[in-house]
Amino acid sequence: MGKLNRLLITIMTVGFVLGLPDFATAQSGPITIASGEWQLQADWQDHTGATKRGTVLLLHKAAGNRAAYGRMATVLAEHGYASLRIDLRGHGDSTNVRAFDPNISRYKDENDPAVSANFELIDEGYIDIVAAIRWLDQQGKLHGAPFAVIGSSYTGEQMAVATDEAGFADAYIALAPGNFSDASIRKVDPSGKPWLFVRAQREMSFFDDLFTAISDGTNAEIWVLPGRGHATDLFETNDGLEERLVTWLDQQLDR
């Protein structure tokens, strides 16, 4: 065997051992991101294929966790997108300070310390979203490709709040963002970015007025899916929704 052949084989062997780019295999692993006193647990999923189409941040609903995006992360990877799915403060595995209690009233009550503590976790979610975006940036995950965010229920609002500190991503998908505020609605058109709002036809009654207000703008697309399902529960009641969302991202990010 000639010296050149031996050299090529050696390089290839070292590449496999050291984990040099092998674009046929997606890399996935647990991540811990600090956000103040919180230790946020997350999963990084690399893209497959030789070309990276973008990076997507995946945000769960209240009383939910990052596991809801397991299949979404796989579909994204298969279409060339890397993703970070993360448990925000008090949710999933990010409970080193305290945990969100889904059994406490969903209505704010400043006179009830337990309710106030629960809502504090919701209202401060944007802080963790900013921390996640900064981690992605520091790790070089946002360089040279588009960046999108998918929020679910309360994190649809919180991802909009996070833009005050982190700036705008290249595209947004909000799955049933029931608390999407007037202030956030006013950000949609001026952002100049594509926004997709998704809800089930059979939702809480206030969704009708909320989605009407959102549709009054010019920069938001709205999908109303048949049947029931709130936020990431829509994946369970709508087969192939993950693929439809990725197709939408492809179309918007290729513009």
Burial class (CB in 10 A: 0-12, 13-18, 19+), 99: middle
Could you read off the pLDDT of 17-28 as tens digits, one per residue? 333 333 333 457
Distance CA 126, CA 129 (A): 5
User: What residue ranges define each of the domains in the chain, with the CATH number in brackets?
Assistant: 25-253 (3.40.50.1820)
The confidence score (pLDDT) of residue 250 equals 97
Q: Which residue has the higher pLDDT, 13 or 119?
A: 119
State how far the alpha carbon of 27 is from the alpha carbons of 22, 74, 222, in Å: 9, 11, 33
CA 94 to CA 88: how far, in whole Å?
Answer: 6
Give the pLDDT confidence score for residue 13 in this predicted structure. 33
Report pLDDT digits (tens) over 158-200. 999 999 999 999 999 999 999 999 999 999 999 999 999 999 9
The enclosing H or E element of 253 equals: helix 241-253
- DSSP SS3 for 103: coil
